[in-house]
Structure 1
Amino acid sequence: MRTALENQPNLMIFQQAVEDLIVENDRVVGAVTQMGLKFRAKAVVLTVGTFLDGKIHIGLDNYSGGRAGDPPSIPLSRRLRELPLRVSRLKTGTPPRIDARTIDFSVLAQQHGDNPMPVFSFMGNASQHPQQVPCYITHTNEKNP
């Protein structure tokens, strides 16, 4: 995909985090990068993933961050809330993959997904998504690692 984009005539690729949006008459008409560069456009598409005000939780510790050491997008998250747009949190943790036949689920706390299930496209609907399965919360200690 990268090669196809880089070889596309009349296309300039610029990579940098967006920290602000240019809004005129209640319409987004551009973006401002972390270096203060301004790009104006007829349409602005944000592909922020899980980085908006990203938080990492490891055990009892938590801190701001993105995936694999990437920084969170805190300024853009604040800006979207100012507009005001609804900014929600996604639980994106990767649980361990274990054999369910080896687990006593009766001693675990069940954690269900969102209800109603969020749909991430104006063209989609809940029936197009796989059925949600619950997560189960457990704790370890020195006795039971």
Structure 2
Amino acid sequence: MEHCPNTKNVFRPIFILGDSFAESDYFREQTLRFAQIVSFLIDSLNQPNEIVQRLHAMGEKHLNYSHRGFKPIFFDLFLETLEFALSGHIPSLTNMDDKQRQDAMEAWRKLGLFTTVHVKRGYVSGLMKDYYQQTANFDDWVKKRPEFHPWNES
């Protein structure tokens, strides 16, 4: 979050709770959501259309957080964070050989990238719906959307 201070408004509980964040109900809720989506992705590998629909819906839902400063670039930051965490964890797995660890890392990268791409597409689809449902002209609409000002503080 030091690299992207805009995230402070979106992820305020992290800053409010400080070191106790990992023990909080908020953290448990977020990790449960993450585990549920990963479980869904794995369980649905043979149903790519269902996966894409769910990821698009998840992306559209994130429009609800734009008033707090959420921007689609945060999906990329999440992917980088996931890869960073996994690159530290997977090499420590002693029940895998080097090839298996390499394959596991590649599988997680592909799953993370696939997920990020489709969640972002859902977000953009939601933006398009929002634009077509509003009555302001384009310039006024853009001014109200933090997504079009990716590095400005919200």
Q: Structure 1 length as normaliser, TM-score?
A: 0.22
Give the greater-gyration-radius structure (CA): 1
Greater share of residues in strand:
1
Greater share of residues in helix:
2
Q: Structure 2 length as normaliser, TM-score?
A: 0.21
